[in-house]
Each structure stands twice: as C-alpha cells, then as structure tokens.
Amino acid sequence: MNIRELARRSGVSTATVSRALNDRAEVSEATRAKIRRLASELGYAPNEPARTLVRRRSDTIGLVWDSGQEALGQHNPFLLGLLSAVRTALSDADYHLMLLTTPGEQDQDGAHLQAVQRHNLEGVIVLTTPPDDRCLRVLADSTVPCAGIDTAFTGPRTVRVSSDNAAGAEAAVQHLYELGHRRIATVTGPLHLPPAAERLAGYLRACSRLGLSVPPEYVTEGDFFLASGEAAGKRLLSVPDRPTAIFAAGDQMAIGAIHAAADAGLSVPRDLAVVGFDDIDAAALVRPALSTVAQDQRGLGVAAVEALRGLIDSTTVDTVEAQPRIIPTRLLIRGSSRPGV
C-alpha cells in the first residue's frame, strides 16, 4: 500500500492525501476523516523522512545521557527510572525519542549539534551530563531547544528542570531534629554536580536555622554509589563525637551507611538514624526500610517535555535565561529513622 493506491481508493489526488495526513487546513474535515479511515483500514503508514520534509517537523527529540559512571560499570537506578519517565512523557506528547551516543575523545566538539541537524531533531533533553562536556557546550550555545534535568548548562534556548533539592534536604534534617537528634552529619554527592551542591546547601541551611553545630568532619563526600556511602559512614562513625544521625544525598549512599553501622555493631535507628534521597526501589526493600526524600520522576519527565515544547513553539530566541522548572519533593518516613515504622 502506497500513497498513490490510497489516493486512488479515496478518489482524490496524492497531494490531497498528503495534506490530509499532515493536518493541512486546505482539506475538509469530511475528506480528512475518510482518508484517515481508509489509511487505517488498508494499513498505510506515511514515509517518515518524506513527511518530515513536507511538515518541516520530525516529531523527534534527542536524548543525551552520560553520567560518567557507566564506563566504570556503575549504574544509578534513579537515573534509569528518570529515563523511563522522560520516554513516557515524550510518548504522551506524541514525540519519538532518539538516543544520541556519547562522543569519543576523537570526535569533534560539535558532534551532538551535527546529529541534531542531520536527523532534523526538534530539540534535546539532557540528563546528568558532566558539566565539562565540550559537545554539550556547543549544543547549548546553539539555537537548538534544550531541556536539562539536573544539568548545569545555559544557552540562548535552554531551560533547567530539577527537583527542589535544597528543600528536600532541609526536610530531612528537620525530621531528624524533631526526633531528638542534635549531631547530624551528611554524605554529599560529587559537589561539582548541581543536585549534590544544592542538597548540601539545604542541609547547612537547616542546621544553621536549628542552631546545630556542623564540625568539618560531619560533611564527607561520596559519589552517589553504595561503596562510597559505606566508606563515608565508616569515617563518620570513627570521629570522637560521632553523629547520631546521617543524611545521605542519595539512597545508595544511605544504604552503604547502614552497612557501615551494622559492621560497627550499631543498631539502626536505635543507635544511628539514616535518611536518604531519591526513593529508589531498594529503599523500601532494605531492613530497616530507608527513610528518604522522594523525587517525582514522572513530574520531572513531564516538566522537561513541557519546557522543551515551550522552547520549540517559541518563534524568538530569548536573550534572558528561561526560568528553571523546580519540582517539589516529599519526605517518606520509614524504619531507618523512626523505630516501629
């Protein structure tokens, strides 16, 4: 079945079929409905490259995803869930998704931009790409609409989407304070990443507001993965005036801290309370179940797609940076912080 046969059976020209399937205004609703019904019955599917040329739109969004850890064999389950949320949000908005491969060291700095131009992509969503990525810098400096989730990049047509990391961290510290803890330490993520820096800022702000002392040894850096959380937990539990509670900026690190407490013969939450961030699936599976600050993965995905569509539909290139989309978090209280939960 091709467009000529569909036109013959519809009793119209191939040009009319093309206009009807591309929602052009020149075709009456009755004719459009008839052609679409026949196309469905006969199993006709338009040629996408040709359709793209006619409509000057591809309905395809590129995705750049490189946390810098996959090459080391480390996988962040929260990012996998976020990828699924973005894919669902794009599908609900009738967009296709194309994954842009991570350029190698020998690739040109414009590799991402060239891929966008070659495939006529309408925009790009960026997930947690390292801030020193040269290809990303070239892309952000162009006029290609870009939405970054937890990514620090700016440009004439870029917008950032993020959870309210600072408020989430403050809520975690407030919860521990209300349980009676006054020696609250934190395990941060890599501080060159915006989520890690913002969560540390929220922790410090809450401690200052509550009048809590934060000795330098109470702030230790991890990498969002389990082993770093366990190592950080051991460091924190070895200080002379050890903390009674730990806020970890990621669930995997929080679970690692629980492992460190078990190795030290401490009971969680009786001897040490632990709160994480993200609400990955494992948070509810460990024992005691992990109290955590839950991020809204679906909300992040929907906000990124909506923000990107706003940039795509805009006819001008803004000289003022678009306002970031901030998605609220919520505190989930489980057994790792409150006995009996």
In Å, how far from its chain's centre is CA 332?
20
Q: Out of 51-55, 251-255, 310-314, which region has the weakest mean confidence (pLDDT)?
A: 51-55
Q: What is the pLDDT of residue 131?
A: 65
pTM attached to this predicted model:
0.81
| Residues ≥6 apart with Cβ < 8 Å to 109 | 134, 135, 137, 138
Residue 66 has pLDDT above 80, yes or no: no
Closest by Cα among 217, 194, 209 to 326:
194
Report the 3 state secondary structure along 261-307.
Answer: HHHCCCCCCCCCEEEEEECCHHHHCCCCCCEEEECCHHHHHHHHHHH
Report which listed range, 13-22, 48-57, 185-194, is most confident.
185-194
Tens of pLDDT, residues 6-24: 888 889 888 888 788 877 7
Residue 167 has pLDDT above 90, yes or no: yes
- Give the chain's domains with CATH numbers: 3-46 (1.10.260.40), 60-164+298-328 (3.40.50.2300), 165-295+331-337 (3.40.50.2300)
CA distance 334 to 282: 13
CA distance 149 to 161: 5
